[in-house]
């Protein structure tokens, strides 16, 4: 059994952003030497998440609009009593989730034909990280 860990660092230009990290994750799968196993991709910050879906601009806009409807930015969140202004980002992360487990087959990510891996940022413009943990044979 092999194990491999790498960290991806982000400092997005915008407060909310979707960053396609598929190529970076695939690079680490190859570097790991794992032929059959799993790749965990996990956002290590409480206002960001990981999303697997199509690299299509309209869909990405629809996702952000959907999340904004479910968890809009508003001043009356109780979390804001702490001095923060990012309660909506915490809620968006809870809806989207913070990690995914991806299969590795024959040394490659085994994704569907249109699937891509995204880092989803909801309270950006500061340094954050994602862990890529690969295990298998």
Domain boundaries, the chain: 11-74+85-136
Tell me what the mean pLDDT of segment 43-47 comes to: 97
Of 109, 130, 135, the closest CA to residue 50 belongs to 130
CATH class of 11-74+85-136: mainly beta
pLDDT, tens digit, 9 for 90 and up, residues 55-98: 999 999 999 999 999 999 999 999 999 999 999 999 999 999 99
> pLDDT confidence of 104, banded at 50, 70, 90?
very high
Quick one: what percent of the chain has pLDDT higher than 90? 100
Nearest to 129 by CA among 60, 55, 47: 47
Tokens of 99: 């990690």
Q: What share of the chain is helix, strand, coil (3-state, %, to 5)?
A: 30, 40, 30
- Beta-sheet pairing, 17-20 with 115-121: antiparallel
Q: What is the pTM of this model?
A: 0.96
């Amino acid at each position: 059994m092999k194990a491999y860990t790498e960290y991806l660092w982000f400092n997005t230009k915008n407060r909310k952003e979707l960053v396609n990290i598929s190529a970076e994750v695939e690079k680490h799968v190859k570097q790991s030497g794992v032929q059959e196993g799993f790749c965990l991709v996990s956002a290590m910050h409480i206002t960001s998440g990981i999303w697997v879906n199509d690299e299509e601009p309209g869909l990405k806009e629809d996702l952000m609009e959907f999340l904004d409807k479910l968890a809009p930015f508003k001043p009356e969140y109780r979390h804001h009593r702490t001095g923060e202004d990012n309660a909506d980002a915490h809620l968006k992360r809870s809806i989207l989730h913070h990690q995914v487990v991806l299969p590795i087959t024959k040394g490659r990510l085994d994704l569907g034909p249109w699937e891509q891996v995204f880092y989803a940022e909801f309270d950006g413009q500061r340094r954050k990280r994602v862990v890529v943990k690969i295990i298998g044979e």
